[in-house]
Chain A
Amino acid sequence: MNSSGASLITIFLGLVLINNFILAKFLGLCPFFGVSKKLSNAMSMGVAVIFVMVLASIATTLIHKFILVRYDVEFMNIIIYILVIASLVQIVELVIRRTNIALYNALGIYLPLITTNCAVLGITLINSQNNYNLLQSIVAALGGGMGFTLMLIIMSGIRERVEYGDAPAAMKGLPLAFIIASLLALAFMGFNGMI
């Protein structure tokens, strides 16, 4: 059945709110928990990830349709997708270094780490699994990426406040971040059934 008949709005909102990459699908957690408390860094990181996700989705959807399926070598998808992503990140890194050195320094080591961000490979796999066409893949990448960025921004804001609180030593830092994420996940469950 043509399940790729899902409308674009459904795909987009579904990925931002209901199947949020961080809170529901557990993709992109490393930068999420390591995010700085500065809002501007969280934003930069998020935008960089969205950018790579969209480019990767375009490239991999085309490769999937015109090479993998056509020549019946779908099992090569893992290798090819990750190599495409690694190359894209290299290119993006080069471009940012040439055009906006401040951004390059702000992102630091997190820029090359986008390669191993589950969210990027994740969206390419989701696109192939659901057999999305090019437009749907782009929308899905935007949705997934924006959901990820949204959570990054929320988390950076919360952690800033939590710093001033009085938590038991064992809880400080990561454990508290996990509890916060759990509460956020619980809250976002309220969006179920919305679309």
Chain B
Amino acid sequence: MEKLSIKDKVMKNKAYPVILLTLVVLISILLLMYINSITKAIITKQKEDKTLAQLEQIFPDMDNFKFKEEIYIVYRKEDVLGYAFTAAGKGYGGEISTLVGIDNDYKIKLINVLSNNETPGLGTKIIDESFTGQFKGLGIDELEIKSEGGKIDAITGATISSKALTSSVKEALRFNSEIIESSF
């Protein structure tokens, strides 16, 4: 007569597969929640540090910021140094994301290209200081490339990238100036 061990009896049970699967899922969830609790604080701090570093590139003498309605309000002690917001534009190879910093007169302080997918060596020149530096001090009406009446020199061989960046900055400035004007 065959003696079935306890293990065999358990495994022959019809509900066993589901129970095992549920057990595996539960253990995984617990494990992941544990790891998450350890890493969460570090990750959040990193994101804040990164934002701070990006803003400091534009406002070197800032000491903290607030985030309201998708706009950064940049402070030094109690004074508002200016504002910053992200501009998203359709570039040649994908989305161009730029951090635009303005002073209290709605003139551009500086821009900081955060990410892009442009052609290496050509369109990627939009991140160079020689291009972005042109935006300093410009108001909304001057934000076009020279051939269209504005003050920005497009990069030779990368007209589309240059135009895309410029128009995204202009649009973001227009959009966010209204919000700042009305709610802040």
A and B touch in the complex (CB under 8 A): yes
Task: From known contacts A1-B85, A1-B87, A1-B88, infer whether A76 and B95 are also in contact, taking CB-CB under 8 Å.
Answer: no
* CB <8 Å contact, A76 and B32: yes
Inter-subunit contact B160/A193 (CB<8 Å): yes
B172 at the interface (CB under 8 A from A): yes
**Taking the complex as formed, is A102 at the interface, i.e. its CB lies under 8 A from any CB of chain B?**
no
Asked if B75 is at the interface of the complex by the 8 Å CB criterion, the answer is no
Q: Is the CB of A18 within 8 A of B93?
A: yes
Which A145-195 residues have a C-beta within 8 angstroms of B?
A: 192-193, 195
Q: Interface SS of chain B: helix, strand, loop or mixed?
A: mixed
Flag whether A2 is at the interface (Cβ < 8 A).
yes
* B170 beta carbon closer than 8 Å to chain A: no
CB contact between A79 and one of B28, B87, B92, B119 (< 8 Å): that residue? B28
Instruction: Give residues 1-56 of A contacting B (CB, 8 Å).
Output: 1-3, 5-6, 10, 14, 18-19
**B177 CB to nearest A CB, Å:** 14
Asked whether A66 is an interface residue with its Cβ less than 8 Å from the other chain, the reply is no
What band does the interface of chain B fall in when counting residues whose beta carbon is under 8 Å from A?
10 to 19
Q: Is the CB of B93 within 8 A of A192?
A: yes
CA distance A91 to B125 in the complex (A): 49
Cβ–Cβ contact B90 & A75, under 8 A = no
Distance in angstroms from A63 CB to nearest chain B CB is 15
Q: Closest CB-CB distance, A147 to chain B, in whole Å?
A: 15
Q: Are A193 and B92 in contact (CB under 8 A)?
A: yes
Are A195 and B88 touching (Cβ within 8 A)? no
Give the nearest-CB partner of B43 in chain A.
A75
**Is B36 interfacial (CB-CB < 8 Å)?**
yes
Known contacts A1-B70, A1-B86, A1-B87; A75 and B92 CB within 8 A of each other: no
Q: Let me know if A3 and B88 touch, CB within 8 A.
A: yes
Contacts of B95 in A (CB 8 A): 3, 6
**Which residues does B use to contact A, with CB under 8 Å?**
28-29, 32, 36, 70, 85-88, 90, 92-95, 97, 119, 160, 172
Q: A1-B172, A2-B70 are in contact. List 14 more A-B contacts (CB 8 A).
A: A1-B70, A1-B88, A3-B88, A3-B95, A5-B88, A6-B90, A10-B90, A19-B94, A73-B36, A75-B32, A75-B36, A76-B29, A79-B28, A195-B90
8 nearest CB pairs, A to B: A1-B86, A193-B92, A3-B88, A75-B36, A1-B88, A193-B160, A192-B93, A192-B92
